[in-house]
A and B are shown apart, each in its own frame.
Chain A
Amino acid sequence: MDATSRGATVELTEVVKNYGTGAPALDTLSLHARPGEFVALLGPSGCGKTTALRTVAGLEAVTSGSISIDGRDVTDQPTNKRDLGMVFQSYSLFPHLDAQANVEFGLRMRRVPAGERRERALGALEMVGLGGFGSRFAHQLSGGQQQRVALARALVTRPRVLLLDEPLSALDAKVRVQLREEIRRIQTELGITTLFVTHDQEEALAVADRVAVMRAGRIEQIGTPEALYTQPQTPFVAEFIGLSNRLPGTVRGGFVEVYGVELPLLDPTVAPGPVTVALRPEDVEIVSEGALAGVVVSTSFLGSLRRSTVRLPDDTLLAVQHAVGLRTAPGERVALRFTGACVSVKHEENP
């Protein structure tokens, strides 16, 4: 398949989706995806990420607001006129068609001549690493292979927007990592604007240009994976992205004091007073001596690093990430040092 696809802008403006039961699924959601950008919609179950994707696809009508693709308002346009490619969570291959016929389906809808149809379908299958699998039916393919065919089927029509609705969540861990990298490679090659829904933060951080963290139908924060990780703007984002220790602290004079240690605040405008501080395990260090000490409760080997849980004198448990070479044992007393900034603070009276 040749790389003739070109990404389009996707814009959601104050989109509301109300099912009439309780809180709205989408609450004045706005999102702007640039041409060729890979945007991940990340959030816990029920946050509205899949609903947002389905409104872009036209599979859900919006209650209010607008959706435009490449500057053209498509809010009221039926799905089949939006020129999208979509891959679903559950394998959605047509079971009565073989892989090649599945991939050819969209081309058939566009009345592409048989010869070209065949050539493009075989090319798309080749692109997803399934050359020679064209005559297999869905029940003769593994889950990962089915999703590859679904990806080829979505891309063969050269859509300007690709929508991925948790396409990897039904696959086992190894295939998931492999396929997400392939999706990213193909997306970069084709330059197609992609919206990718996932609840797996590692997945989102690994593949996306930008990640939109969603909560209760709104985008809590959108930014590059690095910005979200190092500069979360809300406690929710800080807790949702990566692992964080929650420690008691007190804000005073532009710093937050945690166990007698002064740490810089990411947001210097935080009002003084008692707070809960989020601190990454990699921002805590085990040292030979120091004012803060605790007892190791457990330690686990994670391949390239080791993580130990340390009980502090006030019974708070603190996760510490350290080098594999530094071995700790349960019951061992260790000294600790905070090396990085706290990622967020939350006032205790306003949990």
Chain B
Amino acid sequence: MTAPARRRRPNLAVLGLTPFALYVLLFLAVPTVLAVTTGFFDKKGGFTLDNVSALFTPQVLSTFLSSFWVSGVTAVVGAVVGALVCYALLGTRPEGALRQSINSASSVLAQFGGVMLAFAFIATIGVQGIITVTLKNLGVDLYADGVWLYQVPGLLLPYLYFQVPLMVITFLPALEGLKPQWAEANATLGGSRLTFWVRVAGPILAPSFFGSLLLLFANAFSSYATAAALISQGSQIVPLQIRSALISETVLGRSNLAGALALGMIVVMVVVMFGYSLLQSKTARWQR
């Protein structure tokens, strides 16, 4: 006699996710699909691959390269500086005021992008910024070789402003997860402090470090508001080129190109986030 099939009780708690799921569906999934599909149609609504093939034109490719460059540089510098901050914080008490306040400040500053951040830089190192003017009076001209703040290189400093804190909040838990017994086991087995960092802590932290680095890359790659506030003219990075394609009929003449650019960005983001989740799952397994 077979046992009667046990009826599974529906989990009503899942219903609590409904509002969020609807919100994501209506304002993220649907617009994304619409934006991407527009890339496959022309102005008259006919199917075309012209927009997608435009992704491979020198102008668009160089914009993607600029985006990669800004994202890559700020991700690497942000990751290294952020990791050093985390390492320094390890020497402080976990419940101490210093670690807690830096942690809290990082959580806020990691989201501190956009017009506010752009204004902060314009007010300080803009052409008429207080630091620029003060230095000029002292004989140092920040812009002797051109006004770089409003160009692609000018994005590096503002981006680092939120990249470093983002690294702190994502990497600090991994560093805190290093068990003291690993260092002690290393020592009792004859290992030195250097051995511990090279052979134990380094390999254990590597997935977290590179996972965080990928997150920083994705964060910079998809960032729009800070760049838009600083750079009002031109399409130096992909989000700004999407803006141009959407609002300008003259520059490229194809508003549907925005959809194709969005598709390109989504492909990059999917690859990055896939790598991130792979690394994260490895880390989670180790720190169980």
Q: Which residues of A contact B (CB under 8 A)?
A: 57-59, 78-80, 82-86, 88, 90, 92, 94-96, 105-106, 108-110, 139, 150, 153-154, 157, 163
Contact = CB atoms under 8 A, between A and B. Distances in A.
A157 B189 contact: yes
B184 interface: yes
B200 A94 contact: yes
- Ranked nearest first, the 5 interchain pairs of A and B with the lowest CB-CB distance are A92-B181, A106-B189, A109-B190, A79-B187, A95-B286
Interface of B: 179, 181-182, 184-192, 195, 199-200, 203-204, 285-288
A59 B187 CA distance: 9
Contacts of A84: 188
Given A95-B286, A96-B286, A85 B188 contact: yes
From B185, B199, B204, B285, residue with most partner A Cβ within 10 Å: B185
A236 to B, nearest CB: 31
A86 B184 contact: yes
Contact of B184 (A88, A96, A109): A88
Contacts of A86: 184-185, 188
Contacts of A153: 185, 189
Contacts of A83: 190
Contacts of A90: 179, 181
B188 A105 contact: no
A150 B204 CA distance: 18
A96 B204 contact: yes
Contact of B185 (A58, A94, A108): A94
A98 to B, nearest CB: 12
A78 B188 contact: no
A31 to B, nearest CB: 19
Nearest to A110: B190
26 contacts: A58-B187, A59-B184, A78-B187, A79-B188, A80-B186, A80-B187, A80-B191, A80-B192, A83-B190, A84-B188, A88-B181, A88-B184, A88-B185, A92-B181, A94-B200, A96-B286, A106-B190, A109-B189, A109-B195, A139-B285, A139-B286, A139-B288, A150-B185, A153-B185, A154-B189, A157-B189
A85 B185 CA distance: 9
B188 A95 contact: no
B41 to A, nearest CB: 49
Given A94-B185, A95-B287, 8 more contacts: A58-B187, A78-B187, A79-B188, A92-B184, A94-B200, A106-B189, A108-B199, A154-B188
A36 to B, nearest CB: 20
Contacts of A157: 189-190
- Specify which of B186, B188, B203 lies most central, judged by the most chain A CB atoms within 10 Å of its CB: B188
A139 B179 CA distance: 15
A95 B204 contact: yes
Contacts of B186: 80, 105
B286 to A, nearest CB: 4
Contacts of B204: 94-96
Contacts of B189: 80, 105-106, 109, 153-154, 157
A59 B182 CA distance: 12
Give the residue among A86, A157, A163 with the most B Cβ atoms within 10 A.
A86
A88 B179 CA distance: 12
B52 to A, nearest CB: 42
* Central interface residue in B181, B182, B192, by most chain A CB within 10 Å: B181
A83 B188 CA distance: 7
Nearest to B286: A95
Nearest to B207: A96
Contacts of B195: 109
